[in-house]
Amino acid sequence: MTISYPNTTNFSEQTPPQSITVDLVVVGSGAGGGVAAEILSRSGLKVLIVEEGPLRTSADFKMREKEAYADLYQEVASRQTLDKSIQILQGRCVGGSTTVNWTSSFRTPSQTLDYWQSEFNLKGFNREALDPWFAWAEQRLNIAPWEVPPNANNQKLADGLDALGWSHQIIRRNVNGCANLGYCGTGCPINAKQSMLVSCIPEALKNGAQLFSRARVESLIVNGAKIDGLWLSSMDKNGQVKQKRVTKVVAKHIVLSAGAIGSPAILLRSSQIDRRSSLGKRTFLHPVSACIGRMPDKVNAYQGAPQSVYSDEFLWRDGVAGELGYKLEAPPLHPTISAIMLRQHGDKHFELMKDFAHFHASLALIRDGFNSESVGGEVSLDSYGYPQLDYQISDMTWRALKDSLLKLTEIQFAAGAKGVLPIHMDASFYGSWRQAEKAIKALPTVTSRFQVMSAHVMGGCHFGGENSNSVCDSSGRVNGLENLSVMDGSLFPTSLGVNPQLSIYGIVAKLATQLGKELGANPPEDLVRIADMIS
Amino acid sequence: MKRRHFIRNTLAASVAALGGVAALQMYQQNQLDYSETENLGFLSKDDQVLLSVLIPVFTSGIPQQPSVAITIANIDKAIMLLPLRTQDELRQLLDGLSNSFGRLILAQVWVNWQAADVSQVNQFLDSIREHSIGLLQDAYVGLHKTILGAVYAEADAWPTIDYPGPPF
């Protein structure tokens, strides 16, 4: 099936317009921007979508890490926190991270929603109010439990959990006609993944929206309590600023969906924006620990749906606000990402790499932000005006990271691993669970040695009710500004405890429908019905 | 103290610890051969010489040795995509290793970079991997990621790890 992208302008290759006037501009084309652009364009508004990354489609997706990391990821897939302690995988292309994610789809857990209500005074985001929006997104993006047997890598996780009597479930995925290839992370070559790239963005364009790619928002034009528009810079083919302030966009309303690092950065780059709130703060990452198990048989962890099994056995292990819990999943392994993870050189490195086909990998993502000791990171700007994230790993997070390594190791041995390697610079392959347990307990919890990863960036413009020091109100409006909204994962006041895409889809569907009504437009009937039913 | 100064002072201290006078003499006796270097977007000729020594050592275990020229070209392309702040940091790291102090450290380990003994360079990498100074550990991780990421991105490396490549 060919998908068309009319009304697009590539700022690195085409001449940008000097100015453009629209009803509404959506900044970013990922999970938040995609849904917002579809709903608001279907409401009859003249919408412009601005994306700093390139427009790449299935014809460009060759299932090779080299091209994919360069074309589709922030900072060639090597974005990291300021002290280099956490490696962050994040998309930078049309479709944002949805173009490269592993398709795992979860509704926001009730515990998380309850916490937002009690701690951030957030109204209207409880289970009953949100489930119809999640149901809409699930239908729109074909989200359903994965019915094909899990690949060997995920099956090992299930086997280990079974052997220990711990629970696991099947992951729901946003795919349609998936061929079980295993290359979701390099862009789906057959348009089976229902990312924003193949769903909401083309739908918005069909409804008359325009798309500027390789265009970055330099700053908002603030005029008292109102935003008059914004300035765009053009980007070159290397993703560097080509020309600053090349296009002026005038819009009645601005929606920021540039992600939890990008959206706060735009606000920080704009003068006259109130800095007293939590702007840029409370940025959460689901810090991830990982282990590799050497299996007697080949696992070929690059093959098949990358994620299909998960366990919440330890997600709420000490209650919502106690010691940080974690979700267990399996990540795919491809050559480059594996080679980078194994921090050895020469013979020692190849000694590890030669067993690549026998590697089974599993990970734990830590649910950060649910405790006064887990305050997250802070986005600021470097001397080039480019965002940087300072995330200090708290003692509580270290405890969770280490505890999760112990569990991952135990599970891998229970699944039949002959050796297990925790991803830590002072670890090596351990031959038994007892040996591993003793060694892991002694591993130093310091940033330079413990290899921590993340693929989920949340917060930085969190919403909340009165006295919550929030950046946005419960409609997503930036406090104190009439016509500026945030609609992406940066709204979340904590991490989620689940992979974020479906939470973003559902919550933004609610906020965008509400905004469409407020602007006097005509949001799609099915969405208006949901909005009316809940209110 | 500015980061650049810190790197320089750190390297100078390391040279002193290694016995800098002998190293200086060795350095002064050896000239580098730039004949294999290219005009690239980011990597200078000094950077390329340094990488041409480090790449075979990082990859010495791989039965099919990767092309140094292709690896360097890939590294250069990838760096051009990084944010300017990160490019600045890499510039400081590479300059630190290529400038007189950096060369002194390296010269302590082998007489001439381009005639280096693999096991000696390996020891050098072992030492910065475990170094008590965080900056040198960071340098190890930066070089590791840059070099091995570029090597395993190429199809030539895949048969050695039993990876068949994409299905079509």
pLDDT of residue B100: 58
Q: Is the pLDDT of residue B6 over 80?
A: no
CA dist., res. A27 & res. A5, Å (int): 17
Residue B22 reports pLDDT greater than 90 = no
Average the pLDDT over B132-149 and give the result: 92
The residue in chain A having the minimum alpha-carbon distance to the alpha carbon of residue B137 is A448
Q: What pLDDT, on the 0 to 100 scale, is given for residue A274?
A: 82
Instruction: Report pLDDT for A10.
Output: 98
CATH topology of domain A1-141+203-284+458-535: FAD/NAD(P)-binding domain (3.50.50)
Range B156-165 average pLDDT: 97
The mean pLDDT value of chain B amounts to: 79
Indicate if the pLDDT at residue B98 is higher than 90: no
pLDDT of residue B33: 74
Q: Which residues of chain A have pLDDT under 50?
A: none
Residue B26 has pLDDT above 60, yes or no: no
User: How high is the pLDDT of residue A534?
Assistant: 79
Distance CA A68, CA A47 (A): 29
Q: How far apart are CA A411 and CA A408, in angstroms?
A: 5
> Alpha carbon B19 to chain centroid distance?
22
Contact A357 B158 (CB under 8 A): no
User: How much is the pLDDT for B36?
Assistant: 80
Bridge partners for A24 per DSSP: A47, A253
Domain ranges of chain A: 1-141+203-284+458-535, 145-193+288-367+394-446
- Measured between beta carbons, which residues in chain A are less than 8 angstroms from residue B57? 345-346
Compute CA distances B33 → A350, B42, B53, whole Å.
29, 19, 12
The pLDDT assigned to A374 comes to: 96
Cα(A172)–Cα(B80) distance, integer angstroms: 38
Please check whether residue A75 touches B, CB under 8 A.
Answer: yes
Cα angle: A201, vertex A206, A210; to 5 degrees:
65
Q: What is the pLDDT at residue B122? A: 87
In the predicted model, is pLDDT for residue B20 greater than 50? no
Q: Would you list the domain boundaries of chain B?
A: 3-159
Amino acid at B65: Q
Q: Which residue of A has its CA nearest to B161?
A: A354
Query: How does pLDDT run across A297-327, given as a tens digit for each residue?
Result: 999 999 999 999 999 999 999 999 999 999 9
Q: B54-79: per-residue pLDDT in tens?
A: 999 999 999 989 999 999 999 999 99
| A66 to B138: CB separation less than 8 angstroms, yes or no | no
pLDDT attached to residue B102? 63
Q: What count of Cα atoms within 13 Å lies in the side-chain half-sphere of residue A328?
A: 31
Q: Greater confidence, A165 or B38?
A: A165
Q: Do A343 and B80 touch (CB under 8 A)?
A: no
Q: Which residues of B touch A340 (CB under 8 A)?
A: 144-145, 148-149
CA dist., res. A424 & res. A403, Å (int)? 14
Question: Would you state the pLDDT for residue B11?
Answer: 45
Does residue B107 contact residue B101 with C-beta atoms inside 8 Å? no
> How many angstroms separate the CA of residue B145 from the nearest CA in chain A?
5
Bridge partners (DSSP) of residue A254 are A25, A484
Model confidence band, residue B105 (pLDDT cutoffs 50, 70, 90): low
Which of the four CATH numbers 1.25.40, 1.20.1740, 3.40.50, 3.30.410 does domain A145-193+288-367+394-446 have? Answer: 3.30.410
Q: Give the model's pLDDT for residue B27.
A: 42
Q: What is the pLDDT of residue A413?
A: 98
Residues A192, A195, A201, A207, CA torsion sign? positive
Asked whether the beta carbons of residue B77 and residue A239 sit closer than 8 angstroms, the reply is no
